[in-house]
Amino acid sequence: MIRNTLFIVGVLLVGILGCRNIKPADQNIIVYTPGSTGLPNNFLFPTTSPDRIILNLTNDPTHSVAVNWRTDTSVVESIVQVAEATHGPEFIDQTRDIPGKREMLIYKPENDPEVSATYHSAIIDQLEPGKKYVYRVGSESGWSEWFQIQMPEPDKKISFVYFGDAQNSVKSMWSRVIRQAYGSKPEVDFMLHAGDLINRFDRDVEWGEWFYAGSFIHAMVPAVMTPGNHEYKNMVFSPQWKKQFNLPANGPKGLEEQCYQVNYPNFKVVSLDAEQIDESEEYKIAQRDWLDSILTHDPRKWTAITFHYPIFSTKPNRDNVEFREMFKPIFDKHKVDIILQGHDHAYGRGMVNNVPTGYQVKDKSSGTMYVVSVSGPKMYDHSHDPWMDRKAGNTQLYQIISIEGNTLSYGAYTATGELYDAFDLIKSDNGDPNQLVNKIPDFPERHKTD
Ligand SMILES: [Fe+2]
Ligand SMILES: [Fe+2]
């Protein structure tokens, strides 16, 4: 009886609290039920204080970093303050102001409330490799806390985290993966997201979950991200993407911040927009020609390319033939080192060649490592095709990749931080394909039915 009464009271309370209308700052009445997302209200509706603060890599990541933040539309000033980090608070007297740019977005996704926001962005430049800086963003209407950033020392080592699709239950179930990755390797130089960051391209509340999951990590470790098919719907691109990120605009015209390159002195990172390759003949050819041109006579020792649709799939009966036939010859011609993909919601990696008798043939002479991975909780079955040296189903993973001298070291870790897969690529000095050294740990292979 007591238990029944408590249950009824609980239901009434949830009903009363859950149906409150929230009136966010600087907006008219919007009916929104915060309990439907589990997000604090200010993760959907901006205020005068900066939120969704994120760093992105620039084309020259050893000397600059891009920063973005969001406020409500009453804020008409954008400032970044930066200083070299000091042991105590004295940096506060040595700050430099950098003015930012502003873009407004007033958008109402289907079945969701309208959100009005001002997105701010700036490039923090004149930074020196290896030094530690502090910065904050905002204006007299409200400032962020001071964030500390470590500039890379590319002569020593560059390391980064690679995530496959986050996409679903991002606050609830992806958050532990990015936090585990950061907790175990906070010193990485950047984080790379291989598309499908969220599930529905335009839902502000899903972007809110993505920012919540990474919280201050996004403001301390720069990110690069490539669009997945879930950043599109019927070829309409996410309205938030270019507002909330500040990615390089150095790719083919019309694909700014979608297809681009980042250049460390000895390492090039490239993002291709796979959806535009799949759907647009014009942008497919533009991206192929652009990729071929930037890899021609490139002096850098190492190259990683990320795009969303795998050209060697882990999913049974899935095969992106056209993509592979157009782009693999470019990867082969320029001996690209590693390809980082998503979309298949499983894990697989191997060196593989496209031979007439069947493309799914191991071929270490190609020298290019192809990887598919997933970081979120949505899982698909995977095939048992022979090209994969290592595969997994039903496993959330993140990968830590380090480049130092002639060695690329790779480790794939499960959501709990345990090593699931590892290898080294050793570069020869005479132009031969990379040598693969498998270092697969003693960890049983996992399948979806496990
Ligand atoms: Fe996808
Ligand atoms: Fe996906």
> Which DSSP string corresponds to 186-206?
TT-SEEEE-S-SBSSTT-HHH
Centre of ligand 1 from the C-alpha of residue 341, in Å: 10
Centre of ligand 2 from the C-alpha of residue 318, in Å: 14
pLDDT band, residue 143 (cuts 50/70/90): very high
Q: Is 102 in a helix, a strand, or coil?
A: strand
Nearest ligand atom owner, CA of 166: 2
Average pLDDT in the 220-240 region?
A: 98
Q: For the chain, first and last CA: distance in Å?
A: 42
pLDDT band, residue 23 (cuts 50/70/90): very low
Q: Which of 28-32, 140-144, 248-252 has the lowest mean pLDDT?
A: 28-32
Centre of ligand 1 from the C-alpha of residue 133, in Å: 36
pLDDT at residue 420 is higher than 90: yes
Average pLDDT in the 40-66 region?
A: 93
pLDDT band, residue 28 (cuts 50/70/90): very low
For the chain, domains (ranges, CATH) are 43-150 (2.60.40.380), 158-438 (3.60.21.10)
Tell me what pLDDT residue 362 has.
61
Which of residues 432 and 192 earns the better pLDDT score?
Answer: 192
Is 346:393 a contact under the CB 8 Å cutoff?
yes
The DSSP line for 113-159 is --EEEEEEEEEE-S--TT-EEEEEEEETTEE-PPEEEE--BTTTBEE
Centre of ligand 1 from the C-alpha of residue 447, in Å: 20
State phi, psi for 168 to the nearest 5 degrees.
Answer: -120, 150
Q: Which of 51-65, 380-394, 436-450 has the lowest mean pLDDT?
A: 436-450
Protein residues within 5 Å, CB atom, of ion ligand 1: 196, 228-229, 343
Q: Tell me the C-alpha distance between 250 and 247, whole Å.
A: 9
115-124 vs 101-107, strand pairing mode:
antiparallel
CB within 8 Å of 157: residues ≥ 6 apart: 402, 403, 404
Nearest to 281 by CA among 339, 323, 237, 233: 323
Nearest to 401 by CA among 173, 163, 215, 48: 163
The pair of three-digit structure tokens given for residue 324, joined into one six-digit string: 């592979």
List pLDDT tens digits, range 219-229. 999 999 999 99
Average pLDDT score over the chain: 90
Most confident of 107-121, 283-297, 421-435: 283-297
Average pLDDT in the 118-132 region?
A: 98
Identify the helix (H) or strand (E) that includes residue 288.
helix 281-295
Centre of ligand 1 from the C-alpha of residue 279, in Å: 14
Q: Tell me the C-alpha distance between 342 and 139, whole Å.
A: 38
